[in-house]
Amino acid sequence: MSGLASTFSVSRIAILGAESSGKSQLAEALATQYQTVWVPEYLREFVEVQQRVPTESDQLLIAQTQLQRESAMISAAKTWLFCDTTPSMTALYSRYYFQHMDPELARLDLQHTYDFSIVTAPDFPWIADGLQRESPAVRQHIHEQLLAMLEQREIPFLLVEGSLSERLQQVQFTLDFWS
């Protein structure tokens, strides 16, 4: 994967992780550090606007909207576009909560078109928010499922751990090595 940034004008970086694992903080901090933009997680906005958790029938819309927002932001990005989640996370949660997945969501899940993936370890304190987050046990289970899925699909990833500054250093080392 040497030369990621030089091969493409903008490389899309997926930031994956279970609930309350620091994805949004990391995406925002990376965008600031690299003077670029990031794509916030649409699910968070969905829950705030709808004032409810998503149903099974909402999952495809959530994944599609996330991708639409990535497409809309790519022209504003410089070198890197940091994406706070992907359809793969929506698919993982769909399998967990509904034991089923819309076929179109399954297709989006398998398309994984990111140049690199970062996984946030569930080592941040778990914070309940009343609607979206369930428990530290669910967070750990989803984290394990995510790692298994990435390994099964042979998708390279960087697992980041520790404080936000430690995570930034881990990502910076990796991205600077490739650019």
Tokens standing for residue 146: 């995510």
Task: For residues 126-132, give the mean pLDDT.
Answer: 68
Q: Per-residue pLDDT tens for 35-58? A: 999 999 999 899 999 988 899 999
- pTM value? 0.90
Domain ranges of the chain: 4-178
Distance CA 159, CA 113 (A): 19
- What confidence category does residue 123 fall into, taking pLDDT thresholds of 50, 70 and 90? very high
Closest by alpha carbon to 61, among 98, 117, 108? 108
160 or 175, greater pLDDT: 160
**Domain topology for 4-178:** Rossmann fold (3.40.50)
Q: Please determine, for residue 128, whether its predicted confidence score (pLDDT) is greater than 80.
A: no
Q: What is the DSSP string of 18-43?
A: -TTSSHHHHHHHHHHHTT-EEE--HH
